[in-house]
Amino acid sequence: MAEEVTLLDFWASPFGMRCRVALAEKGVNYEYKEENLRDKSPLLLQMNPVHKKIPVMIHNGKPVCESLNIVQYIDENWKDKSPLLPSDPYQRSQARFWADFVDKKAYEMGTKVWKTKGEEQELAKKDFIESLKLLEGELGDKPYFGGEAFGYVDVTLIPFYSWFYAYETCGNFSIEAACPKLISWGKRCMEKESVSKSLPDPKKIYEFILQLKKVFGIE
């Protein structure tokens, strides 16, 4: 039976980007459906009734929700090509730990950077850089978080690279100055076609954030 894969997504979502990168790594053909988050489609609400969020991957009619869950599913289902998670259980647990860290710390802190101002923003910038430095420590001298090959933690974090310009401009700071190795890693990942074709232009993300700030009344 031919595989039928649909991805319900939103162009600027770093969570959606993870799924795009994973599907591209595995060479899976899929239908991309852009959702309007202010007017969610009946299909999205039917496929993710619990959270009502993107991304949702629909595989042969069956939905999988939550981006890290989707990436693990993609890795397990299309296991013959480009393994994303290591085969060793301990290495796997470490990869899951760092992916979870990205979600718990990096994403939240980054969001605070563009949503706040004044002292609150200064604190958010400090926390954000601290979390990036911890990630940089974990990367060490490896080309990728996965080691020699691009892997699960790389997929999890790289979408935020497209948001860095927006964070830096809103917060008036340089991520490269604080975390040069992480920026080198970002550029290295962007040389991969699966990544470069899945991530939007950082300038467009910045424009999008400016729109959001207007909507939220932040200046």
Partner 1 sequence: MADEVVLLDFWCSPFGMRVRIALAEKGVEYQCREENLQDKSPFLLQMNPIHKKIPVLIHNEKPICESLIIVQYIDEIWKEKVPLLPSDPYQRAHARFWADYVDKKIYHYFRDILRSSSEGEELEKNKKEFIEELKVLEVELGDKPYFGGDDFGFVDVSFVTFYSWFYAMETFGNFKVEAECPKLIAWAKRCMQKESVAKSIPDSLKIYDFAVQIRKKLGVE
Q: β-strand 31-34 against 5-9: which pairing, if any?
A: parallel
| Measured distance CA(48)–CA(33) in Å, rounded | 14
For residues 174 and 164, give the distance between their C-alpha atoms in angstroms, rounded to a whole number.
Answer: 9
- Choose between 93 and 196: whose C-beta lies nearer to partner 1: 93
In this structure, what token pair is assigned to residue 60?
A: 């042969």
Nearer to partner 1, 72 or 121 (CB): 72
Binder among 62, 172, 191, 215 for partner 1 (CB under 8 A): 62
Q: Could you give the string, one character per residue 31-50, with x where binding to partner 1 holds by CB under 8 A and - elsewhere?
A: -------------------x
| Cβ contact 152:146 at 8 Å | yes
Binding flag, residue 70, partner 1 (CB under 8 A): yes
Helix axes 14-25, 152-161, angle to 10 degrees: 130
Q: How far is the CB of 209 from partner 1 (least distance, A)?
A: 25
**Count of CB atoms within 10 A of residue 204's CB?**
14
The first and second tokens of residue 5, run together, are 């894969």
Q: CB of residue 79 vs partner 1: minimum separation in angstroms? A: 9
Q: How far is the CB of 64 from partner 1 (least distance, A)?
A: 5
CB of 20 to partner 1, least distance (A): 18
Beta bridge partners of residue 34, listed in sequence order:
9
**Structure tokens that stand for 170 in this block:** 């809103």
Taking CB under 8 A as the rule, which mask of x and - marks residues 109-148 in contact with partner 1? -------------------------x--------------
| Binding window for partner 1 (CB under 8 A); candidates: 62-70, 142-150, 157-165, 175-183 | 62-70
Q: In the set 3, 31, 76, 108, which binds partner 1 (CB under 8 A)?
A: 76
180 to 219, contacts with partner 1 by CB under 8 A?
Answer: none
Query: CB of residue 200 vs partner 1: minimum separation in angstroms?
Result: 26
In contact, 57 and 63? CB cutoff 8 Å: yes
Q: Tell me how far CA of residue 72 lies from CA of 78, 107, 110, 144, in angstroms.
A: 10, 19, 24, 18
Residues near partner 1 (CB under 8 A) are 50, 59, 62, 64-66, 69-70, 72-73, 76-77, 89-90, 92-94, 96-97, 100-101, 134
